[in-house]
Amino acid sequence: MESYTYVNIFETKGLEYLLLICFLVLFIFLVRYLASPLPAKEQAGKE
Amino acid sequence: MHDENKKGRSFADIIRFILQEMKPRGKFLTPFNVISIVVIIAGVIILTVRFIYGLGSVSNLNQEYPWGLWKGFNVITGVAFAGGAYVLTFVVYVMGVEKYHSIVRVTVLNGLLAYIFYAGALILDLGRPWNIINPIIGNDFGYNSVLFLVAWHFMLYMIAEFIEFSPVAAEWLNLEKAKKVLQMLTLGAVIFGITLSSLHQSGLGALFLMAKSKIHPLWYTEFIPLLFLVSSIFAGISMVIFEGTISHRVFREQIGPDGKSSFDQIVFGLAKGAAIAMFVYYFFKLLVFIHEHHWQHIHGFWGFWYLFEIIGLVLVPCFLFAYGARHRIIGVIRIAAILTLIGIIVNRLNISMIAYNWNVVDRYYPSWMEYVVSFTVIFAEIWVFRWIVTRMPVYEKHTKPAMA
């Protein structure tokens, strides 16, 4: 029976890959957040 | 004057006009004028002493700390703040986003003056300033040196920025033919300038690659050039917002109410750009941190100081820019711009001074005279900027040129 091998993501590139995936996902959210129009309630307040 | 216009103005007319324009305008005894004149006079005296008796007579620089406040703040930070010029010209002339066209002239002027004064301040900090010409004339090219690249780029970029701004001066002098010729050169100068900027902004960071053993590990990385380049984008944008906010109050007669409302719209767009650039920069820093296994350094003063810089002066203003742009709150964007500028100053000073020789007992602290000279350079730039803005058509295209 094979023994369990613990992979420490702090010692491998794993954490860097995870960070890049987080970056790409969050970047999409940021761009969508910035590109979305002003909420109608706030728009009325500005006018 | 009509006949003269037909014949064309002579060189003597232009000189006479410029001399006439040298006369001060408006109220002279303002708090800013009084303070800045006192500082400039003190700065000139200190600089005279510096050039007669050498650097050691006015500064605390030594063999351990050959680069101090003048390089760390004036040159390295000042050039990052001038990044707005290459960002804006790229957006307007290359990407064709006309929305930002109204602030291109003032941004290019800011960039030009920043390079003349802040990069020019390099001369003050050189032990043998007369050798500054060596990389240019080939006395000792030193092709492998980053300083060779920086020296050439500073000089060429100043020329490129001068060409970009020169149509404004031609318009002011009512030299229509010259203006047309200079405008034809603008696009070429812009592309040339952007190429130079991206290289020397990163080149300034590359200067510190040779100081691996001296800079604290949290700030030293082989990616310093890339980090300097990316941070110069949002440093420049923040400077445009900060400078524009002040200028729209000081020069409100020249800008007018239409200019103010359009500037607010421009600020919202700039804030979006700054938020994205800061977000990318933050993840770069995080990636470098993880890649270089810096967990063990996050303790004590240096760890907290690093976290303060990265979270308090990068991540927080990034969110503020995004929030302000999304909800159209100009005050939040201004706070974000100020925090970002402080963050850039802290980052550049950390690398060049604070975290430099961090483990040496005998540390460098700038003398009061170094501070006075730094402020002298800033005030002198503001005086020249104000002189140009109050005379040349920087903020709006005048229907009538200044020189009739």
Out of B89-98, B116-125, B143-152, the most confident range is: B89-98
- A26 shares contact with chain B (CB less than 8 Å): yes
Residue range B221-272, pLDDT digits in tens: 999 999 999 999 999 999 999 999 998 888 877 776 666 678 888 999 999 9
Structural domain contains residue B20: no
Q: For residue A14, which residues of chain B lie inside 8 Å, CB to CB?
A: none
Structural domain contains residue B340: yes
Structural domain contains residue B303: yes
The answer to whether A38 contacts B327, with C-beta atoms less than 8 Å apart, is: yes
In this model, does residue B373 exceed pLDDT 70? yes
pLDDT band for position B400 (cuts 50, 70, 90): low
Mean pLDDT of B210-229: 93
The pLDDT, as a whole number, for residue B295 is 87
- B298 shares contact with chain A (CB less than 8 Å): no
The pLDDT, as a whole number, for residue B396 is 64
Structural domain contains residue B236: yes
CATH number of the domain where residue B279 is located: 1.20.1630.10
The pLDDT, as a whole number, for residue B224 is 94
- B267 shares contact with chain A (CB less than 8 Å): no
- Helix or strand (DSSP H, E) at A46: helix A40-46
The answer to whether B276 contacts A31, with C-beta atoms less than 8 Å apart, is: yes
pLDDT band for position B112 (cuts 50, 70, 90): very high
pLDDT band for position B321 (cuts 50, 70, 90): very high
The pLDDT, as a whole number, for residue B27 is 81
The pLDDT, as a whole number, for residue B328 is 92
- A36 shares contact with chain B (CB less than 8 Å): yes
Mean pLDDT of B75-83: 92
Residue B374's domain comprises 26-389
- A17 shares contact with chain B (CB less than 8 Å): no
| Nearest residue on chain A to B279, alpha-carbon basis | A27
Residue range B171-200, pLDDT digits in tens: 988 888 889 999 999 989 999 999 999 998
The answer to whether A42 contacts B295, with C-beta atoms less than 8 Å apart, is: no
pLDDT band for position B24 (cuts 50, 70, 90): confident
Mean pLDDT of A25-29: 96
Structural domain contains residue B402: no
Structural domain contains residue B13: no
The answer to whether A42 contacts B328, with C-beta atoms less than 8 Å apart, is: yes
**Phi-psi group of B61: left, alpha or beta (phi > 0 → left; psi -120 to 50 → alpha; rest → beta):** beta
Structural domain contains residue B358: yes
State if pTM tops 0.95.
Answer: no
Residue range B338-366, pLDDT digits in tens: 999 999 999 999 999 999 988 888 888 99
- A38 shares contact with chain B (CB less than 8 Å): yes
Facing B290 at nearest CB: one of A19, A27, A36: A19
Cβ-Cβ contacts under 8 Å between A and B: the total is: 35
If one counts the domains in chain B, the total is 1
pLDDT band for position B315 (cuts 50, 70, 90): very high
Q: For residue A34, which residues of chain B lie inside 8 Å, CB to CB?
A: 272, 275-276, 322, 325-326
Structural domain contains residue B1: no
Surface of B (71-130) touching A: CB under 8 A: none
- B275 shares contact with chain A (CB less than 8 Å): yes
Q: For residue B288, which residues of chain A lie inside 8 Å, CB to CB?
A: none
In this model, does residue B333 exceed pLDDT 50? yes
Mean of pLDDT over chain B: 89
The pLDDT, as a whole number, for residue B399 is 46
The answer to whether B328 contacts A10, with C-beta atoms less than 8 Å apart, is: no
- B279 shares contact with chain A (CB less than 8 Å): yes
